[in-house]
Structure 1
């Protein structure tokens, strides 16, 4: 559902000052030397593309001397060339250091390994010598893959650590009250004086009377153990709303659409992105960006989409003003398209559109602000094109939405099966089954609020099996 703009005091996107960027670059460089670069990125919630961009800025000298919040402009050609030369110099120095360290360690440990073979000829001794060499290479900053090659040991063997099982019963807290005390608590809270009061009121009144039995949390735990925690207040109940249950068995049947805000060049300025998605193929059939939200603009988008992809059976949306407008309703009625809406205040009744908006705004390429409406439209066009034709979607068998939408996924499945069969014949020990992984299977149906299977139907299925 669209709104005039994000509310004041709401969540903000994470940003980095020049000092923080330099600190992350330094820490990432140290982590790389310990072969821990990937773990550092995940630990700090960063992408490698951010590190690459920050390196360019650092090497060009534009991060040094910047104050917090100060803007960083576009690099000049001279700064780009300086950054390239600095990167080349760093790589050369790193290779020289790696080569020198490797030669020194390999020379010393090769003699020790030969002596072990001559004197003891023991396999364990030889393995220990090789692992010692590997350990020294790692401690000197050599990457694990390179160190394993130099030491002559498989990388998986070198990095494997023995798992130490931790077993035993869970420790009973020292401050846990015993069974007799728990019965006393239960009798007290259920007594005539306290039966209508919540634990927090009972706790306070007992304290005022000079009695301490247990904490408020313990009272709730004792009540919960005896299944005596239930809402008793006279709360108003909202009337039941019909749950939208939609199913698509192929492309072009059910389309979902929504509008999201894109931050403009200045605070308080936003652009509106209208996006419509096919819930079966996950294909973005239309994405328009405008300076404002309007039912008329939504109708124009729908007419364009229906003219290209055909008229669907159902169009689903939330309850935004444009979605529930008479203009949109009249168009869908004229085309005999079933109109479906989410329940009030239920955000997950439009899951496909909401999920796609998250993929859009959480991508590392998504900017904090768009300089103009033209920039926003260009970015959206590029992102949609990449999503439709390049992104392998886990919900449709790791196929691209375009392959599923236009019926090309079956041919891709045959090619993938042939590749897996060849790999299974070459490495049979790596496979425990003869069928393709479930993640490569395209679901037969796509649901919005799939109804729960009734117990009778489940029992009938078991009997049939």
Structure 2
């Protein structure tokens, strides 16, 4: 292709037109023609977003910007209005564009004007809850199980420890009631202790006064999903999908006692036998009780022994899946920039 470009160029065609006619980028033509004499390959290229900018704000300066953005006196102002008022007050020392960039990375931008409920606009801040150990974060929700008749619906309450995926509490009732939820959590706290945070969606029971009072008296912080955003409660949603997609799950239950019996057996099997992909193929019970370390150690010994017997079957020594690390809800996002 480069020879064709040279021939066309010698015939009076510009290099740009010749390259376009054969579909060759002009920069590629010049690099090949000059035998890469001006090309220096970087051994370990760094993405532009990760590169250090000498003129970038320091960590302290970014913290000052975030402090301004979260200041109550600017709560009802736009980012632009906030910037100029803070600049006049001597609180920030950056450009408007930099100020807005930090606000956007912290998810402090967006239209906050009144709008209809069906527009899909969400004014609540994205919940970000970390779970680095057992007992730091519980997630719970309520789903429906079908009964023998179309109008028969059973309510499955389920609470899980997010770090270990261990179901710490559950119950099935005919209706979704506040008393059922409070009783369920009270029993769970007596058995597993009080978590740092309890996350739920925006159901009336989840936000009810008696449950909030029970959480507050127990010392647990309440976290909630944004309205109509199912991704804010992914662990409970995933657990319900696992239940309903189980091959043994009945399409409809014969009675509420049947639903309770099957669910009890399922949770026992899920907790003690299910090798979870998010837990390094350990079971929720192993992670919840702290025995996952011994399980992984024994797995590694088994793999090492197998590798020593048949090294020709591997490209490199096999490694047992790593133990679970910190997780949480929307932890891939950042509200601090």
Per the TM superposition, whether the score is higher than 0.5 is: yes
Q: In structure 1, what is the Cα distance between the partners aligned to 2:283 and 2:252? A: 28
* Cα displacement string for residues 310-343 of structure 1 (whole angstroms, at most 9, x for unaligned residues): 0110000001111111111111111121000000
- Aligned residue-pair number: 221
Does the CA-based 8 Å contact 2:128-2:333 persist in structure 1?
no
Structure 1 counterpart of 2:209: 326
Report the TM-score when normalising by structure 2: 0.62
Unaligned runs of 5+ in 1: 1-178, 180-233, 457-465
2:182 to 299, 308, 314: 299
2:167 to 284, 287, 291: 284
* Cα displacement string for residues 217-250 of structure 1 (whole angstroms, at most 9, x for unaligned residues): xxxxxxxxxxxxxxxxx99783532111111111
Structure 1 counterpart of 2:155: 272
Unaligned runs of 5+ in 2: 1-19, 21-114
Larger relative contact order (Cα-Cα within 8 Å, sequence gap ≥ 6) = 2
2:284 to 380, 397, 401: 401
Does the CA-based 8 Å contact 1:257-1:274 persist in structure 2?
yes
Q: How does 1:15-30 map to 2 (within 5 A)?
A: none
Change (3 A) 1:322 1:239: closer
1:442 equivalent to 2:323? Answer yes
2:140 to 257, 265, 271: 257
Q: In structure 1, what is the Cα distance between the partners aligned to 2:318 and 2:134? A: 26
Does the CA-based 8 Å contact 1:273-1:287 persist in structure 2?
yes
Displacement after TM superposition at 1:453 (Å): 7.2
Structure 2 counterpart of 1:428: 311
Q: How does 1:97-136 map to 2 (within 5 A)?
A: none
2:131 to 232, 242, 248: 248
Change (3 A) 1:408 1:426: same
Q: In structure 2, what is the Cα distance between the partners aligned to 1:370 and 1:404? A: 31
Change (3 A) 1:430 1:452: farther
Report the TM-score when normalising by structure 1: 0.46
Structure 2 counterpart of 1:336: 219
Q: In structure 2, what is the Cα distance between the partners aligned to 1:353 and 1:244? A: 15
1:374 equivalent to 2:284? Answer no
Structure 2 counterpart of 1:108: none
- Residue 275 of structure 1 aligns to a residue in which SS? strand
Structure 1 counterpart of 2:294: 411
Change (3 A) 1:398 1:267: same
